[in-house]
Amino acid sequence: MMKRLPQEIIARKRDGHQLEREEVEAFVSGVVSGEFKDYQSSALLMAILLRGMTHEETGWLTEAMMRSGRVVKLPEITRPKVDKHSTGGVGDKVSLILAPLAAACGLCVPMMSGRGLGHTGGTLDKLDAIPGFSTQLDDATYRRQLLEIHQAMIGQSADMVPADRKLYALRDVTGTVESIPLLCASILSKKLAEGIDALVLDVKFGRGAFMANEADGRKLAQSLVAIASSMGQPTSALLTRMEQPLGRMIGNSLEVIEAMDCLRGEGPEDLMEVTYALCAEMLRLGGLEADAAAARTTLEKAIQSGAALEAFRQLVEAQGGDPRVVDDYERLPLTDHCVEIDAENAEPLYLARLDAHGFGQAACVLGAGRSSMEAVIDPAVGFELLKKEGDLIEPGEPLVRIHFNDATKVDRVVERLRLAIGLSPEPVAPQPLIVDRIVG
């Protein structure tokens, strides 16, 4: 086939045609080389969002992105190598708990994570809150760390999946995050380049997720599992609800603190439910446990014994962070400025809605997330949820504690939070967090 110009490829997808494999590969290589300019890449991303991609196209895109840089092989690692990925949510600090917990239970967890995307938080942004922690490891250090402590949490190096590094940032600021083919290719290209044996996915839907409803979340989960399985990667997905923020902390340092509380056995019930379920799935796919009940017992023992917390301490120290933060939270970036808000209710009412999307947007305004590629995150700021959906709220009772540094932002943040909070005179029944398990 004659090589097409970038504008010809854009026009073909704009007009609803299925791209040829060579066109998909030309797009990916052009993103890396610069032949596709940012404005052309953005145009094709929007065309893909509007016109979609077939399963075949998405597979080609995934493979081309994966092979745009170095693909890791880890034959020296004898433990089962299993990773987890979440499609993004508000207050989702599961990875910080899960990696050391799974390592303490016998797995090797080579985890490549990303920055915050849109209104959702990013694992790398949370890790950056730990003084000295480096998410950029050279290949020798990465391999040695996996051999010694069986876990690593890194960002994409310049030579690993460079196409996704560029496209990930463009999707964040061009309104194309929700595209299922682009989500699949972004997630799987990184994960399949890690050298893992199996993959567990946390596919979220709801107000705080990129997939707004269960049907779209299920479609994404099925696409991810099907594409990964077709590429020879054992994969399963849990379909989980993201209507209200997960856990009680939103904001980078605050979420690191909550993750360490979880590893001490003091975490909130909803956060631990999701963490245990994903870890159990990892242990099963890794062949270490036969069923969810046995896996849950193993995981609980690792927390009760202190092994999981010690694994987190080892992770922090191995990647240049200050391990003293595990015992002294004051060593993390924290703010001295707090204000609490209530619901302004005149009578006792039930908390019916904590809109995760609204809280995520408010976090960006506060400085805990980014609204543009060049935005700088303040790791100290964020929210502490004093109540969760279903709780009875007395008049004047505080719902949210805002940790801030810039007082000029507080009024705008409070305005957004009030819109994200809903009350009801009737009791509110909690919805199940984990909806389904999807396998290839």
**Beta strand 421-424 with 349-354: parallel, antiparallel or unpaired?**
antiparallel
Does 85 participate in catalysis according to the annotation?
yes
Residue 391 Cα distances to 139, 348, 428, 429, angstroms:
48, 10, 8, 10
Confirm if 418 and 351 have CB atoms less than 8 A apart: no
Does 370 participate in catalysis according to the annotation?
no
d(CA 190, CA 163): 10
d(CA 241, CA 434): 6
Which residue is it, tokens 């046995």? 294
**Which is the catalytic residue, given 81, 93, 165, 171?**
171
**Which is the catalytic residue, given 92, 125, 128, 164?**
164
Does 207 participate in catalysis according to the annotation?
no
**Which is the catalytic residue, given 143, 190, 204, 357?**
190
Q: How many alpha carbons lie under 13 Å from residue 365 in its C-beta half-sphere?
A: 19
> Judging by beta carbons within 10 Å of its beta carbon (0-12, 13-18, 19+), is residue 413 exposed, middle or buried?
buried
Does 164 participate in catalysis according to the annotation?
yes
**Which is the catalytic residue, given 157, 186, 223, 236?**
186
Bridge partners (DSSP) of residue 111 are: 153
Q: How many alpha carbons lie under 13 Å from residue 151 in its C-beta half-sphere?
A: 27
Bridge partners (DSSP) of residue 109 are: 151
**Which is the catalytic residue, given 85, 207, 370, 403?**
85
Q: Which residues of 85-116 are buried (b: 16+ CB within 10 A; e: fewer)?
A: bbbbbbbbbbbbbbbbbbbbbbbbbbbbbbbb
**Catalytic (active-site) positions:** 85, 164, 171, 186, 190
